[in-house]
Amino acid sequence: MQLNKAELEALERKYRLNLINSISGVKPANLIGTKSAAGQENLAIFSSVVHLGSNPAELGFVLRPQSEPPRDTYANILSSGYYTINHISASFIQKAHYTSAKLERGESEFERMKLESEYLSDFFAPFVKASAVKLGMKHQESILLPNGCTFVMGSVELLHAAEASINDLGQLDLADYQGVGIGGLNTYYGLQKLDSFPYVREDEIPDFQA
């Protein structure tokens, strides 16, 4: 298959949607937890979390174009300034997937999908108890993108992970806790460690053969 821009735009809508959402490859699968000023918990799945920096530790994620008022996740982040990012494991991918449903405002996905919340170190926003890796985030800045989406930047205020999943170099083993990735909009992939290589220096590049 080879398609130019005009041919892509002429594709049937759902086919194009699935294709374009798949072409970036496997994306991280995370649940973002928030809480309103009134104490109402909210949970939503995202596949757009990206690394921004290590010192200070910063992550970002993309929100689809927002309605007025914004959907619960973004409204809660704006009002409280805090949210959590929780890695998804194979044991609860179905429950995690269905948090993408548009529930009535104020209805908690934690309760509806039977995913237990928990609070760590008095952090304001709820974490997913079943998640092996939990990050407490503080909202730093939101940037409106040309396509109407919003890029949300945050600092890592709290990290909780099993020590057994982190090696002596500080590297997280995603396969150790059956971490999953998302392909397209609704297909999930298991993650398996294939290899690990050293930091690349020009004078240490192997003599590769064609």
Asked if residue 9 is part of any domain, the answer here is: no
- Range of the structural domain that residue 113 is part of: 26-163+170-192
Pairing verdict, β 187-190 and 180-183: antiparallel
Asked if residue 203 is part of any domain, the answer here is: no
**Window from 45-54, 73-82, 98-107 with minimum mean pLDDT:** 98-107
In this prediction, residues 44-64 reach a mean pLDDT of 97
Query: Residue 106 pLDDT more than 80?
Result: no
Q: How far apart are CA 147 and CA 65, in angstroms?
A: 8
**Chain centre to alpha carbon of residue 168:** 25
Q: How far apart are CA 142 and CA 152, in angstroms?
A: 5
- pLDDT tens by residue, 140-152: 999 999 999 999 9
Asked if residue 17 is part of any domain, the answer here is: no
Burial of 88 (0-12, 13-18, 19+ CB in 10 A): buried
Asked if residue 92 is part of any domain, the answer here is: yes
Where residue 104 falls among pLDDT bands split at 50, 70, 90? confident
Q: How far apart are CA 24 and CA 89, in angstroms?
A: 21
In this prediction, residues 101-123 reach a mean pLDDT of 93
Asked if residue 31 is part of any domain, the answer here is: yes
In this prediction, residues 81-103 reach a mean pLDDT of 96
Asked if residue 18 is part of any domain, the answer here is: no
pLDDT given at position 210:
86
Asked if residue 204 is part of any domain, the answer here is: no
Query: Residue 69 pLDDT more than 80?
Result: no
Enter the pTM of the model.
0.94
pLDDT given at position 71:
82
Asked if residue 13 is part of any domain, the answer here is: no
In this prediction, residues 175-198 reach a mean pLDDT of 94
Total of domains in the chain? 1
Q: How far apart are CA 60 and CA 57, in angstroms?
A: 11
Q: CATH code at 180?
A: 2.30.110.10
pLDDT given at position 190:
96
**Under 8 Å between Cβ of 130 and 95:** no
- pLDDT tens by residue, 12-49: 999 999 999 999 999 999 999 999 999 999 999 999 99
3-class DSSP assignment, residue 136: strand
